[in-house]
Structure 1
Amino acid sequence: MFYVVLLAMVAGFLALRLYSVLGKRSGHEQPLPKPADERAVPRAATRTVDVTPEVREVALPPFDGAAEAGLRQVVQAEPGFDVARFVEGAKSAYRMILEAFWRGDEDAFRGLVTSDVHAAFAEAIAARKEAGHVLDNRLVSIEKAHIAAAGVQGGEARITIRFDADIAAVTRDADGDLVAGSTTDAVETHDVWTFVRTVRSSDPNWLLADTDEA
């Protein structure tokens, strides 16, 4: 019985000690937030975002006023026709055809030109080889691609573009010696090329049908 009383006294003493340490507030503790108290929930910083879509102006490639009516005809015949995309494609074709012609690679430009233009280019390449000449030309830059004329006739769309470009033109002989031109100076060139395509054709490619100098 003595031990039971003693254990009860010890338990009571420990309970008083725990209450003195854990059961009292010092005055500096932060109160626990209530589950329903929204003010206790931290919120991420917010800012107003302008969701209005940006209106971008599309810069159309330059074209002569006389070509506007013809371009409308092309758009009417080909609803998916895009003027800016066409001009970019024409610039790429200008570079590829020139570089292939300078190399004398007929196969490289065969699918980019009409049969008449291919025959004319092939004849010029043959004459160049017969003379023992090699072109070492380089297209430095295309300064401007300007639509000069356009139209649709007989189910065929035609667009003429004037290219203002800088070309380093060099002609060498069979031994590699310089015959004409300069390796350091670029010459301003002004070419007028006409591209054609059968409207609503399954083939989306335009072909070079005519070349001239401005």
Structure 2
Amino acid sequence: MNGEINLLTLLSLVVAVVAIVKLRSVLGRKTNDDDARIEQRRREAQMQRTAASPSEKVVALPRRDREPEPADSAVSVAEVEARIKSFAGDDTALAERLTDILKLDSKFDPDSFLRGARQAYEMIVTAFAEGNRRTLRDLLSADVLDSFSRAIAEREQRGQVIDQSFVGINKADILEAEVSTKGVASITVRFVSQLISATRDKAGNVIEGDDSRIKDVTDIWTFSRDISTKDARRNLNWKLVGTQAPN
């Protein structure tokens, strides 16, 4: 009796071991389809990480997103001079000053400059409202950055925040331009924009502005860039060096 029980038990154990071995051989086998699925998931995860971490580079002013075009398709100095005259209209003094910039920087173009200026304006206005000093550091001169930073610090000390939505820029015009004796170019631009802006206190109450009304805003800003040497001209970033209220 004991012999039969031991034999049956042994046979059951053998059957169980064989079943486990076969099961493991099936579950542990990796097929080409499995490899393909794993690689696809890895690529998807990488794409998600890339999308979640956008470049922190700021917009250069004027912006150069592409490699230089071939020489045969490049805009000639004569073409830019014609653009400047058309751009300045009856303001011959402005045309002369813009041409002075072109003489030192053959890549200068007023239309490209204004496109970059509009982008920079939106970035600066938004960064100031958000208290984003990092973005401001790349777009402002040292003096203007100090002024903006003090205003942000005072706002933070009072526990106030700016709730702002940038609607858009209606118009951007070049008012003045000049090149200093040291080869520093300066261009003054008048921006007419629309914002929804309200300042809130610690409790979230609106103490200035209106969070439900679009406001027309006019700013006059001066941008500057060193174009005195070939090395200096490699830095394409114009910086905000001054602001003034419209008359």
State the TM-score, normalizing by the size of structure 1: 0.69
Percent of aligned pairs with the same amino acid:
34
Superposed, which structure 2 residues align to 1:1-214 within 5 Å?
63=88, 65=91, 66-153=93-180, 154-199=182-227, 200=230, 201=232, 202-214=234-246
Structure 1: unaligned runs, 5 residues or longer: 1-57
Q: Secondary structure at the match of 1:93?
A: helix
Contact between 1:164 and 1:191, CA under 8 Å: does it hold in 2? yes
Contact between 1:169 and 1:181, CA under 8 Å: does it hold in 2? yes
Provide, for residues 141-160 of structure 1, a one-character-per-residue CA deviation record: whole Å limited to 9, x for no partner: 10000000001112100000
User: Is the deviation greater in 178-187 or in 144-153?
Assistant: 178-187
State the TM-score, normalizing by the size of structure 2: 0.60
Q: How many Å separate the matches in 2 of 1:110 and 1:75? A: 27
Aligned to 2:67: none
Q: Which runs of 4+ in 1 moved over 3 A?
A: 58-64
Q: Secondary structure at the match of 2:207?
A: strand
Contact between 1:63 and 1:146, CA under 8 Å: does it hold in 2? no
C-alpha change, 1:133 and 1:62, in structure 2 (3 Å) is farther
Provide, for residues 48-93 of structure 1, a one-character-per-residue CA deviation record: whole Å limited to 9, x for no partner: xxxxxxxxxx987955714211101111110111111110000000
Q: State the Cα distance separating 1:168 from its structure 2 match.
A: 1.4
Greater radius of gyration (CA): 1
Q: How many Å separate the matches in 2 of 1:63 and 1:110? A: 32
Aligned to 1:47: none
Q: How many Å separate the matches in 2 of 1:115 and 1:131? A: 24
Aligned to 2:6: none
Q: How many Å separate the matches in 2 of 1:93 and 1:115? A: 16
Q: How many Å separate the matches in 2 of 1:63 and 1:89? A: 18
Contact between 1:135 and 1:171, CA under 8 Å: does it hold in 2? yes
Q: State the Cα distance separating 1:175 from its structure 2 match.
A: 2.3
Q: How many Å separate the matches in 2 of 1:142 and 1:63? A: 20
Q: How many Å separate the matches in 1 of 2:106 and 2:235? A: 15
Q: Which amino acid aligns with 1:208?
A: L
Aligned to 1:20: none
Contact between 1:102 and 1:136, CA under 8 Å: does it hold in 2? yes
Contact between 1:62 and 1:146, CA under 8 Å: does it hold in 2? no
Structure 2: unaligned runs, 5 residues or longer: 1-81
Structure number with the higher helix fraction is: 2
